Amino acid sequence: MTPFKPSTSDCHSATLIDNKLYILNGFDIKSNLIKEFFYLDVSVPFNTQELSWQDLSNINMVPIHHSAASVKGGPNNDTLFLYGGGTIGQIRLTMASVYTFDSQSIVWSIPKIAEVNTIRKYGLTGVIDYNGKVYLWSGKITNEVFSNDMLILDTINPSWNKGSIVNAPTPRAYYGATLLPNNRIIYIGGYNDYTVSVYPKTLYIAKGTALTLYEVYIYDTINGNWNTKTTSGKIPSNRAGFSTILGLDGQRIIIYGGIYSYPGYLDTTLYVLDLNNYNWYIPKISGKIPKPRVYHKANVIGKYMVISFGDGYDKTVESDILLLDISNNDEYIWTTTFDPKMPSPPPSPSPSPSPSSSSSSSSSSSSSSLPSLSPSPSPSPLSSPSNDSGKIAGAVVGTLLSVKKKRNFPP
pLDDT exceeds 80 at position 330: yes
SS3 265: helix
pLDDT score, position 344 = 57
pLDDT recorded at residue 343: 64
In angstroms, the CA 160 to CA 119 distance is 12
Torsional sign, CA 112, 22, 246, 260:
negative
Distance of CA 356 to the CA centre of its chain: 27
Residues 6 or more apart whose CB falls under 8 angstroms from that of 316 comprise none
CA-CA distance, 195 to 389, in Å (whole number)? 10
> pLDDT of 23-76, one tens digit each?
999 999 999 999 999 999 999 999 999 999 999 999 999 999 999 999 999 999
Judged by phi (left if over 0) then psi (alpha if -120 to 50, else beta), residue 204 lies in: beta
Q: Is 250 exposed, middle or buried (0-12, 13-18, 19+ CB in 10 A)?
A: middle
Asked if residues 27 and 10 have their Cβ atoms less than 8 Å apart, the reply is yes
Rounded distance between C-alpha atoms, residue 273 and residue 234, angstroms: 9
pTM of this structure: 0.85
Is pLDDT at 395 greater than 80 in this prediction?
no
Digit-coded pLDDT (tens) for 128-152: 999 999 999 999 999 999 999 999 9
- Looking at residue 345, its pLDDT comes to 53
Instruction: For residue 361, report the phi and psi dihedrals to the nearest 5 degrees.
Output: -90, 175
Give the residue with greater pLDDT, 386 vs 114. 114
Report how far residue 210's alpha carbon sits from residue 190's, in angstroms, rounded to the nearest whole number: 6
The predicted model gives 209-237 an average pLDDT of: 97
pLDDT tens-digit map of 367-381: 233 443 333 333 333
pLDDT tens for 257-310 read 999 987 766 667 899 999 999 999 999 999 999 999 999 999 999 999 999 999
pLDDT for residue 118: 78
- Alpha-carbon distance values, 123 to 72, 256, 377, 407 (Å): 18, 17, 25, 15
**Cα distances (angstroms) measured from residue 246 to each of 195, 272, 275, 368:** 31, 10, 10, 17
Lowest mean pLDDT among 65-74, 212-221, 264-273, 317-326: 264-273
